Amino acid sequence: MRAMVYRGPYKIRVEEKDIPPIEHPNDAIVRVTTAAICGSDLHLFHGMMPDTRVGMTFGHEFVGVVEQVGSSVQNLKPGDRVMVPFNVYCGTCYFCARGLYSNCHNVNANATAVGGIYGYSHTCGGYDGGQAEYVRVPFADIGPSLIPEWMDEEDAVLLTDALATGYFGAQLGDIVEGDTVVVFGAGPVGLFAAKSSWLMGAGRVIVIDHLEYRLEKARTFAHAETYNFAEYDDIVVEMKKATDYLGADVVIDAVGAEADGNFLQHVTSSKFKLQGGSPIALNWAIDAVRKGGTVSVVGAYGPMFSAVKFGDALNKGLTLRMNQAPVKRQWPRLFDHIRNGYLKPSDIVTHRIPLEHIAEGYHIFSAKLDNCIKPLILPAAN
């Protein structure tokens, strides 16, 4: 099969690999029909995530058709069209039994501090991902769902991570009616978090980024007020002014490890890997939220330390909430929202790239060329 393969920081190529075999009775092998590049894949691409091995196939956002199932699989059969959450999870460990699917304890031998994620380094379990023609899906009876007949394939692939994560991020904010919500980051997750904040009754939603074309999307797609932080000397002070010096009730960090806005923080983390992530957006979130407010973190950070302004969080009495999204838990409600026309996730897709050109896809997304917001990968378009 053809598969994207990591070759070292900033370098990937497409190679011929063996079709993955069934390794466990509850495995399925899925033929990928659409995959996506996630903003967090860029952290791998840039060599930021420890134990990212040359030869690994990335990709934790994918949908496809079941090709083969293991002997104990009961809920799926060959030919089923399925969407697969980015979480690999068993369904019955201490954490899964309580709905914390992203924190499963039975699927990641390499680390206890994070669950299993497809194609996301050995730190997240060492599973090859879906930017390939075929992928192994463990616990096929637990994670995947049939794609409803009425659902568009591109909407389905965005449900496997970006939409579910953005919606989850808004929930972590514990938004109450009329709250002012600030979202750092107008990428896919930030756009969905902003949109979801309205569903939860926000009175005002403000999105902050430095890419004007993404802020334009935040205005049209997510009905948000926008601020380009590059136009202000101090975005935290601007947020104080915008909220009559109170601060926002809820701030969502939808940026994560490669945040821009402070040269030293960015370079020490993203370029020289001396921090687990650049905490610029997180520090701005801590400073822009009101005392007693809530900071929700759904941007991805690595396992190493980061220079977070924890004292401010303590002294302001903040509630800090965060996790990788337990994706499937969000689906029934999100299916309703899509069906009712409240959400149309595929509206943010900007690029559809054949698997053979995936290196260009990563560069376009990483360097923010061509007004790129969300690139999809099409294995069959070669």
* Half-sphere exposure of residue 80: CA atoms within 13 angstroms, side-chain side: 22
Instruction: Indicate the residue among 24 and 77 with the shorter CB distance to other proteins.
Output: 24
Query: Can residue 260 be called a binding residue for other proteins (CB under 8 A)?
Result: yes
Binding positions for other proteins, 10-39, rule CB under 8 A: 10-13, 23-26
Among 77, 78, 216, 305, binds other proteins (CB under 8 A): 305
Nearest to 142 by CA among 288, 308, 28, 221: 28
Query: Can residue 310 be called a binding residue for other proteins (CB under 8 A)?
Result: no
Instruction: Indicate the residue among 86 and 139 with the shorter CB distance to other proteins.
Output: 139
Residue 309 CB, nearest distance to other proteins (Å)? 20
Residue 117 CB, nearest distance to other proteins (Å)? 10
- Within 10 A of 51 (CB to CB), how many other CB atoms are there? 13
Query: Can residue 339 be called a binding residue for other proteins (CB under 8 A)?
Result: no
Query: Can residue 341 be called a binding residue for other proteins (CB under 8 A)?
Result: yes
Binding positions for other proteins, 34-53, rule CB under 8 A: 47, 50-53
Query: Can residue 219 be called a binding residue for other proteins (CB under 8 A)?
Result: no
Among 342, 380, 381, 382, binds other proteins (CB under 8 A): 342
- Count residues binding other proteins (CB under 8 A): 117
Binding positions for other proteins, 172-201, rule CB under 8 A: 172, 174, 177-178, 196, 198-201
Residue 81 CB, nearest distance to other proteins (Å)? 18
Instruction: Indicate the residue among 30 and 107 with the shorter CB distance to other proteins.
Output: 107
User: Which range binds other proteins by CB under 8 A, 33-41, 76-84, 138-146, 310-318?
Assistant: 138-146
Among 152, 236, 238, 266, binds other proteins (CB under 8 A): 266
Binding positions for other proteins, 96-135, rule CB under 8 A: 96-100, 105-113, 116, 122-123, 125-128
Binding mask 80-99 for other proteins (x = CB under 8 A): --------x-xxx---xxxx
